[in-house]
Amino acid sequence: MTSATLRRFLRRVESMSISGTEGHWALIPPQLAKKLRPRVAHIADAYVTLLETSDSLRMNRVIGLGSLGQATERSIDEIIAFFRAARLRRFSILLCPGPQSEAITRWLRARGFQPGAGHALMARDGGEPIPRPPSSLRIERARRDDASTMVSILQRCFSIPASREAWSLAAANSPRYEHFLAYHGKKAVAVGSLRVEDDLGWLGGAATLTRWRRRGAQRGLIAARLRSAARQECDWVWVETAIEEPGRPGGSRRNMLAMGFEQVCEKPSWIWTLR
């Protein structure tokens, strides 16, 4: 990408990330919402999510801050006040690269934010040839009646609380996503999801049951989703994964690199903790 293309791409990725997160949180069933007490807010150009019953940094998170150049020190103070009002002890800001990132970093440090585990943004040209990785597993597009199977795999891999199962099922059934399953015989052992917005494709929701890892499940699922994205004329496909660090498992990153993805940038995470 040229520098101008990269800037446009990053803005569009943040916009897609915000719209996807908005859509996902809107799927919380009303009865479950009464128990979980979710809150969301737009503050400046950021999207803020809060779950009163959880201390998870993934649930209590800010994305998109500075993506449109609208961040100010006051907006950061508004974000802190938003979480304080809910009596939450911590939350995270996933900072996107952009013209305000250096200033925002200074503002965060001045307010006691500490660096956390960020994400690596990886992307792939949607028009490039798609490898066909060898695998003994069969890859199929998931059907509506596969929702509970997909949720079960995700719950087992990511320790998602059973209390959120109805939310997970709502997401699995949402037409916003296309899901794929990897099978060993008749047993579903891995899952991966795709969401397309205009000419961008996003890969997420990937998980493989422990016993069936290292058999090519995720590379097969990546290939299936790339082919679907190509059919939908996506110019670029992107994904966020853990930043490479010594001692941290890097299977997701290795799979993406093997399937033609390249790292575009790192997105640092900043954590605020009540003192």
On whether residue 263 sits in a domain, the answer given is: no
pTM: predicted TM-score of the whole model, two decimal places = 0.93
Phi, psi of 38 (to 5 degrees): -75, 150
Same domain, 110 and 16: yes
In a domain, 115, yes or no: yes
What order of strands is seen across the sheet that includes strand 114-125? Answer: 38-43, 46-51, 61-63, 90-94, 262-273, 114-125, 236-242, 200-208, 187-197, 178-184, 138-141
Looking at the structure, tell me whether residues 209 and 226 fall in a common domain.
yes
Q: Which two tokens stand for residue 66?
A: 């500075």
Give pLDDT tens digits along the chain (275 positions).
678 888 899 999 999 999 999 999 999 999 999 999 999 999 999 999 999 999 999 999 999 999 999 999 999 999 999 999 999 999 999 998 888 999 999 999 999 999 999 999 999 999 999 999 988 899 999 999 999 999 999 999 998 888 899 999 999 999 999 999 999 999 999 999 999 999 999 999 999 999 999 899 999 999 999 999 999 999 999 999 988 776 665 678 999 999 999 999 999 999 999 87
d(CA 44, CA 94): 15
The per-residue DSSP string of 197-247 comes to ETTEEEEEEEEE-GGGTTSSHHHHHHHHHHHHHHHTT-SEEEEEEEPP-TT
- Are 9 and 117 in a shared domain? yes
* Domain match, 179 and 117 both: no
Q: Looking at the structure, do residues 154 and 98 belong to the same domain, yes or no? A: no
Contact present, 191 and 183 (Cβ < 8 Å): no
What's the CA gap between 9 and 177, in Å, rounded? 21
Both 7 and 114 in one domain: the answer is yes
Instruction: Decide if 177 is inside a domain.
Output: yes
Q: Are residues 143 and 109 in the same domain?
A: no
Whether residue 210 is found in the same domain as residue 151 = yes
Alpha helices in the chain (DSSP H): 3-25, 30-36, 73-85, 101-110, 147-158, 165-172, 217-231, 251-258
Considering the domain architecture, whether residues 97 and 61 belong to the same structural domain is answered as yes
Residues 164, 62, 4, 9, Cα dihedral to 10°: 10
The boundaries of the domain holding residue 141 are 127-234
Please state whether beta strands 114-125 and 200-208 pair in parallel, antiparallel, or not at all (unpaired): unpaired
Number of domains within the chain: 2
